[in-house]
Structure 1
């Protein structure tokens, strides 16, 4: 008898065909779905440990959910989900998700909040299962953290399919019950911000040129025109600013460069110096004359990940109305191997007058950032943070576990790290020793060499040391995000593809920064 009920009411991990009173599962597609959370049983505990919302739902249907969970299989493990049909008239399909242990918090070893990460992973799993059933509206149990639940739903449902004729059903996640709607909306904006970066990074390079990138961000910021000023600086302006390093990279492409400058005035009456965010914006990186291998070169459409995350963070800050003044700078161009391109051994002049020997044209990101960092100082910033998919060496060092942070400021590091613990999109501090500086300042033909004396040793560190040569402020941080550019299966609430990391960490950092005196 129990086996019969199991087959009637449940589906999920074991793939039951599931019929309820001779009505097939497909009859419950469409309509409205519900995602509810359940915790692991406590030691020596009895019964099922529901979230507050799930317990209320169970009471409303006279304990049927408890009964079905008990007979449908073993207790749900963390991040797993199980679907039930026909339990409630308003919600024909209910996904129950495993949240892991109740009461867990920040883990010092993992450098993130286990509770928040468990919620994001669990909610995303439930949402995807309901999306597969083509259910367009899904209500989400806040699971004790409305913002984390919203982030899990919004991030988990995203898939880049703009160029496909067959698309997954678009799901609108909504908060279930009368919980903290402000925190939910905040989580939605955090998730949408990262999804904007994912969309820009995932799109083919012929669909996101420097010009199109700038126009996309301009459109996203148009609702906030009262607080945002946008400058799309053309090549003539770049030349007038004597950004020779940036121009040397862009000249190899037929696509004109753009220097995108964003001013978000969230606190116009403040006398506090602005936060300046700088992002590497290579919309396609062939490597130039130092041509990359063809295998995997298509992924270099996302070499503007730094610009994508920085600009998306500013869009999110504007949507959140953060009380802070932020300036965003994104040098945008392609790195292509034409007859006008940089040649190995060429020497170019940066904006601050320093000369750079370009021994490898595939180390182009640091060239465009050099001029952008010089320009950033003209705003007398309180701090400068730049983000860039800069080196494959960063991927070798940390993989996709965290973005590497190189900084001259303990004060800045503490705030970036604190933000990353909250978002679960981690950062890890890397060294800026003089040992690396010497490697880039000893050059045969110029003041600096763009790859250093030992190109294969400490590549991420020498790249950071190179950038530091264009920084004079006391608070500067360089985020090398090459290792976190893509997601395979490492982050359970992100589908395979470009990750958009660390957009949420930059937003959270700006939010924390805005509270500083």
Structure 2
């Protein structure tokens, strides 16, 4: 018999298996108890005038099986646990030598309209991540996780909280096998695992060194991952000759500064039962290293520019996750991939290049290269008769100045599309905030001495907005959104359930957007 649940309930349990570096999730309930094992339980903050500690349902069940010892020890061990704080107890139960209790905040927490997220879900992610890390530090190899009332958020907290890029290190973190504790939440748990694994893939792509994640290697890795999950996929790794045939002069002008050949990655997922259903097209900036070119960046923190392909990483990971979930949608991902390097062949300030739609561009700053490669990709995106076009890019330092790491900046010509993205971001806690596409900014980039358009604005102010205005010149579709993810590219300590490093944001929000769109499609049929 496996306590604290009765044997019949245990036999009904099961969670699908997923794995990532530092974490694995297993459905097996027959693992040897000789393994070092832990249990994570949640506890809510005390409400006013309440004397008793308020466990989750799973916590209450466990405490009854240990005759109230957990409640007694908690009362003796110190003040009530704050959100994300943990306390560990040993020897309470033979099946769980280590039990971590983690603070979930108020049980009544829900949508916070000032914060623009679901505080209850965020509290679960933070709490479970903190508890999993504590067990990982103790080199515990197997853990069962309390769903805490939202198994998806619990799974996300576990996988996101434990991920760390250690692919190139000899000494690696303990790999934890984790499974859902309790029954009835298996579907939500599995969904959380898939969502978090998708974000972790984006983190992996972004964190990898530029010499290990070249344009070619990036495309091959995405192809490999996509073919693992679904047969309804097609991958095209387009060479330089194809890019030339497409007359993508802006993209080629950036790529020519590097000896690394450019690649145009095109991925298709056909999940809709109607093959002719217009696709959602994602476009991602894929600069696998950005030195700034001739307008070279300062050396300090230039190493972070290995993640300047974060737009490509997030949109590709989004499509791979959607394919894993078998969403009934048609999706296309487009990623122009190259390096931006200084050389005798590189763009020079004052050069004029021609984009796919025929517009000429004066390149006054070679470090404003992302908008150049995106301009050609956006033109190409229109050829698929898309339902929606969404592009993502670590585009401007000005976006980081404006919003920091709190939210992705969204520039869109569609209030319908903005509402859908905003609602998805409230659910995931990976927030978005709408930014302006005023004609005020367009005037600053079309007032150009040598060409139709300049790749930088006339003034320093509003740099994220003039960059968006530039992209708008290459969009005719009525449902388009530009996501500037420069501010959310990295995580120091702002998001507690992400360790320091590349964040992979906003992958989960884009996946949630697609989940909701697929439900809307089903309801309309």
- The verdict on a shared fold, with TM-score over 0.5 as the criterion, is yes
**Structure 1 stretch 94-103 or stretch 171-180: which is displaced more?**
171-180
1:227 aligns with 2:199: no
1:83 aligns with 2:85: no
In structure 1, how many angstroms separate the alpha carbons of the residues matched to 2:461 and 2:83?
40
In structure 2, how many angstroms separate the alpha carbons of the residues matched to 1:241 and 1:213?
21
For residues 440-479 of structure 1, what are the structure 2 equivalents within 5 Å? 440-454=445-459, 456-479=460-483
In structure 2, how many angstroms separate the alpha carbons of the residues matched to 1:460 and 1:383?
22
Give the CA deviation at 1:463.
0.1
For the 8 Å contact 1:29–1:134, the answer to whether it is kept is no
Provide the residue aligned with 1:19 in structure 2: none
Q: Say which of 263, 267, 280 aligns to 1:258.
A: 263
Provide the residue aligned with 1:371 in structure 2: 376
Give the CA deviation at 1:31.
1.1
In structure 1, how many angstroms separate the alpha carbons of the residues matched to 2:243 and 2:367?
21
1:423 aligns with 2:456: no
In structure 2, how many angstroms separate the alpha carbons of the residues matched to 1:61 and 1:262?
53
1:141 aligns with 2:146: yes
Provide the residue aligned with 2:50 in structure 1: 45
Provide the residue aligned with 1:102 in structure 2: 107
Secondary structure (helix, strand or coil) at the match of 2:487 reads helix
For the 8 Å contact 1:252–1:337, the answer to whether it is kept is yes
For residues 312-351 of structure 1, what are the structure 2 equivalents within 5 Å? 312-351=317-356
Provide the residue aligned with 2:502 in structure 1: 498
Provide the residue aligned with 2:518 in structure 1: 514
Q: TM-score scaled by structure 1? A: 0.93
Give the CA deviation at 1:164.
1.0
Q: Say which of 33, 41, 46 aligns to 2:38.
A: 33
1:401-455: CA deviations, max 9, x gaps? 000000000000000000000000000000000000001111100000000211x
Give the CA deviation at 1:223.
2.2
Provide the residue aligned with 1:10 in structure 2: none
Give the CA deviation at 1:225.
4.7
Give the CA deviation at 1:272.
2.8
Q: Say which of 163, 181, 190 aligns to 1:176.
A: 181
Secondary structure (helix, strand or coil) at the match of 1:232 reads strand
Provide the residue aligned with 1:15 in structure 2: none
1:380-403: CA deviations, max 9, x gaps? 101100000000000000000000
For the 8 Å contact 1:51–1:143, the answer to whether it is kept is yes
1:276 aligns with 2:249: no
Provide the residue aligned with 1:300 in structure 2: 305
For the 8 Å contact 2:141–2:175, the answer to whether it is kept is yes
1:59-108: CA deviations, max 9, x gaps? 11111110110111111111100111111111111110000000211000
1:92-132: CA deviations, max 9, x gaps? 11110000000211000000000000000000000000000
Over 3 Å counting, the alpha-carbon distance change for 1:58 and 1:376 in structure 2 is: same
In structure 2, how many angstroms separate the alpha carbons of the residues matched to 1:50 and 1:316?
33
In structure 2, how many angstroms separate the alpha carbons of the residues matched to 1:69 and 1:274?
53
Provide the residue aligned with 2:490 in structure 1: 486
1:135-170: CA deviations, max 9, x gaps? 111110000000000000000000001111111101
1:55 aligns with 2:73: no
Q: Which runs of 5+ in 1 are unaligned?
A: 1-27
In structure 1, how many angstroms separate the alpha carbons of the residues matched to 2:513 and 2:155?
19
For the 8 Å contact 1:406–1:430, the answer to whether it is kept is yes
In structure 1, how many angstroms separate the alpha carbons of the residues matched to 2:71 and 2:178?
24
Provide the residue aligned with 1:8 in structure 2: none
1:331-354: CA deviations, max 9, x gaps? 000000011100000000000000
Give the CA deviation at 1:270.
5.0
Provide the residue aligned with 2:357 in structure 1: 352
Give the CA deviation at 1:30.
5.6
The alignment's C-alpha RMSD in Å is 1.1
In structure 2, how many angstroms separate the alpha carbons of the residues matched to 1:332 and 1:30?
45
How many pairs does the alignment contain? 489
**Structure 1 stretch 350-359 or stretch 263-272: which is displaced more?**
263-272
For the 8 Å contact 2:230–2:323, the answer to whether it is kept is no
1:3-24: CA deviations, max 9, x gaps? xxxxxxxxxxxxxxxxxxxxxx
In structure 1, how many angstroms separate the alpha carbons of the residues matched to 2:341 and 2:34?
48
Provide the residue aligned with 1:166 in structure 2: 171
1:27-83: CA deviations, max 9, x gaps? x99611111000011110121100000110111111111011011111111110011
Secondary structure (helix, strand or coil) at the match of 1:183 reads helix
In structure 1, how many angstroms separate the alpha carbons of the residues matched to 2:448 and 2:517?
38
Give the CA deviation at 1:179.
2.8
Q: Say which of 193, 207, 210 aligns to 1:205.
A: 210
Provide the residue aligned with 2:438 in structure 1: 433
In structure 2, how many angstroms separate the alpha carbons of the residues matched to 1:312 and 1:298?
22
Q: Which runs of 5+ in 2 are unaligned?
A: 1-32
